[in-house]
Amino acid sequence: MRPLTLRRMLWTCGLLCVTLLAVVVLALRLGAVPFPLADLGQNILLLITGHPEKVSTDFRLIMVDIRLPRILLGILVGAALSVAGASFQALLRNPLADPYVLGVSSGSALGVILALLLAPAIPLMTPLGAFLGAVATIAAVYLMGRREGHLDSGTLLLAGIVSASFLSAVIMFLMTTLASRDLRGIAFWLMGDLSTTLPTSLLWTLLIGFILAAGAIFTTASDLNLLLAGEREAMHLGVEVTRVKLVVYISASLLTALAVSVSGAIGYVGLLVPHVMRLLFGSDYRLLIPTSAIGGAIAVVLADTLARTIVAPTELPVGAMTAMVGAPMFIYLLRRRLA
Amino acid sequence: MNAAESMAAQSTSTPEARPRSGVRVNVQQASFAHVTRRQSAPVFTLEATSFQARERELVAILGPNASGKSTLLRLIAGSIPPLSGRVELDGFETSRLETRTRAQRIAMVQQESPLVFPVRAGDYVLQGRHPHGRSLWFESEEDYAIAANALAQVGAEHLRDRWMHEISGGEKQRIVLARALAQQPLLLLLDEPTLHLDIGAQVELLARLRRLAEENRYTVIIVTHELSLAAEFADQVVLLHRGKCLRVGTPAEVYQRELLEQVFEAPLDIESGPEGRPRVIIQGRRELRSNLSSGSSSG
């Protein structure tokens, strides 16, 4: 039994940040146009020291305008999805919970599409639609997963999976009947895709949203540890169960919405990453929330790099990559649990 | 009106006669009604119940299934407010205390609940320090010392680094108890703590609770089915039957053959043991007298 101290937490997170940095460098290098590592370092140094004119336009165009924003987006989306997954696992007391498996991502996607169809002109409607879609879906799945007043683990997962399939069908219907313009684009986005270039201001908005929501969840981390033992037990140990559940429910929905509104439904990140982090660093939520955030960033940036390069110059949606790894892992965890 | 109810009518004077000084837990005409749907009749009611418990005292709540034992325990814990009457701990109404304050004063050991993720016994005990910390804190040296002491008090230091899902039922029960001790409560509540334990572990647990009540000046209240254990270890027993409090008193006062046979619907014999503590003997070969079985079918 190792005591959890601030020191241990900082060391663990520092180690993961270094790994993330290495992955980012790798992601910057790899692609349809590869750059040698030395060039990369030299050019970044020039940019940082304030000599952008000495950097070739090619480099600036590919690195700074295309690859870097995409990597940053991947970091944010991965962190948001992983923290959301870890939170749903505690909230629903279900180790297999994940925004994608529970249908929350699909609900969020439907919210985005409805917002685009109904009010395309109003600027903040898409994130709002994504948020409302997420909140409504998780509420519905939660209610469907209850049996005789108890949350049944298997029923909950089935409710989530069926909701996801139902919502996807509604999305398909809306897409084919109403929005016929860019089917491949939307289909890509639905699979989970990071290739859309976003304005910098939006990236900042996302970052602030992430910090607020993940921060709110982090403040409840030690309550979540107890909530996993059951709501009554947590209450007897001094946890204000209703407040904590509400905070986590809203924040995790917000994180999912945030990720889905920019990158579609990237699956299994929220399931996979917290599990790996638990294996590596234990299941204390005070450590699990920050490590999941960084781990999620690593996972999504890696997956997206693979998706960009594996069949270059064609690209795969990143969601296809995460699903290829995540779905077998889900089955493995499910079987191990039932054994 | 059957025999049990008539006995209930005579027994109400017993708790009032007890001395009131040093009372820590005061249950005063507390009642409760479980309602599943609004405007429909309650599915279960606990009628007005009164008793008092002092520090270092061990109280056992007895009764057959669905007699309201767990409901009474939850009323005492303050997790549900009484429909009428009061439940006080040192003069404060338990259901009106703030969640955190309540957890600093009352520890509850519940029937086993499954763990979602693996946790080590030491970390589990440390969770008992939660009500004493802030939401974002790392446990202090003191917290670790208190947790270690709690483990020592249940004789489970050697289990500290073991996983909770790998240890035996009796060991697990000790760890759960240690977590409650780490809360440093005034009042320790246990809901059927002897369930799934073998007889050796049951006796050990009750003896330990007795000793802890003495050493740590706890008031201990347990819900149990074990008539013999309660007779041996409890200072006071509260006998419930179908949501009614029939008797409150020392085991010798409450353990009367007719009453217990009526309540538990089993042929029993009561002997007087040392220190005036009664002994319950199950009379497996004797049929319950016919008037009792007809009485139970009408209710």
Q: How many angstroms separate the CA atoms of A106 and A32, rounded?
A: 31
Which class is B3-254 in CATH?
Answer: alpha beta
- Residue of B110, B116, B161 with shortest CB distance to A232: B110
- The DSSP output letter for B195 is T
B127:A225 CB<8 A: yes
Write out the two tokens for B49.
């119940």
CA proximity to A239, closest of A222, A223, A251, A225: A223
pLDDT tens for chain A, 339 residues long, are 677 888 899 999 999 999 999 999 888 888 766 677 777 777 777 777 777 777 777 777 777 778 888 899 999 999 999 999 999 999 888 888 889 889 999 999 899 888 888 877 777 788 888 899 999 999 999 888 887 767 777 888 889 999 999 998 998 888 777 665 556 667 777 777 887 777 777 888 889 999 999 999 999 999 999 998 888 889 999 999 999 999 999 999 999 999 988 888 888 999 999 999 998 998 899 999 999 999 999 999 999 998 888 877 778 888 888 888 888 888 888 787 654
B120 strand-pairing partners: B163
Test B160 with A286 for CB contact under 8 angstroms. Answer: no
Count Cβ neighbours within 10 Å for each residue of A111-147 and write b for 16 or more, e otherwise: bbbbbbeeeeeeeebbbbbbbbbbbbbbebbbeebee
Going from the C-alpha of A254 to that of each of A81, A217, A251, the distances in angstroms are 10, 11, 5
**In Å, what is the CA distance from A81 to each residue of A45, A256, B143?**
32, 6, 34
Give the residues across from B269 on adjacent strands.
B281
Q: How far apart are CA B37 and CA A237, in angstroms?
A: 29
- Residues of B in CB contact (< 8 Å) with A are 77, 79, 99-100, 102-104, 106-108, 110, 113, 115-120, 122-123, 127-128, 130-131, 133, 135-139, 144, 160-161, 183
Q: Which residues of A touch B110 (CB under 8 A)?
A: 230, 232-233, 236
Chain B residues within 8 A of A1 when measuring between CB atoms: 120, 122-123, 160-161
Q: Phi, psi (5° rounding) for residue A326?
A: -75, -40
Question: pLDDT (tens digit, 9 = 90+) per residue, B265-279?
Answer: 988 889 988 888 999
Interface contact B103-A6, CB threshold 8 A = no
Residue-wise pLDDT tens digits, B211-233: 999 999 999 999 999 999 999 99
Q: pTM of the prediction?
A: 0.85
B63 Cβ contact list (under 8 Å, min separation 6): B69, B239, B240, B241, B263
Query: Which residues of chain B lie closer than 8 angstroms to A3, CB-CB?
Result: 138-139, 144
DSSP state string for A177-240: HT--TTHHHHHHHHH----S---HHHHHHHHHHHHHHHHHHHHTHHHHHHHTT-HHHHHHTT--
The per-residue pLDDT for B298 is 38
- Kindly provide the ipTM of the predicted complex, given to two decimals: 0.81
Sequence ranges of the domains in chain B:
3-254
CATH assignment of A11-335, given 3.30.1310.10, 1.10.1040.10, 3.30.70.20, 1.10.3470.10?
1.10.3470.10
Q: Residue ranges of the domains in chain A?
A: 11-335
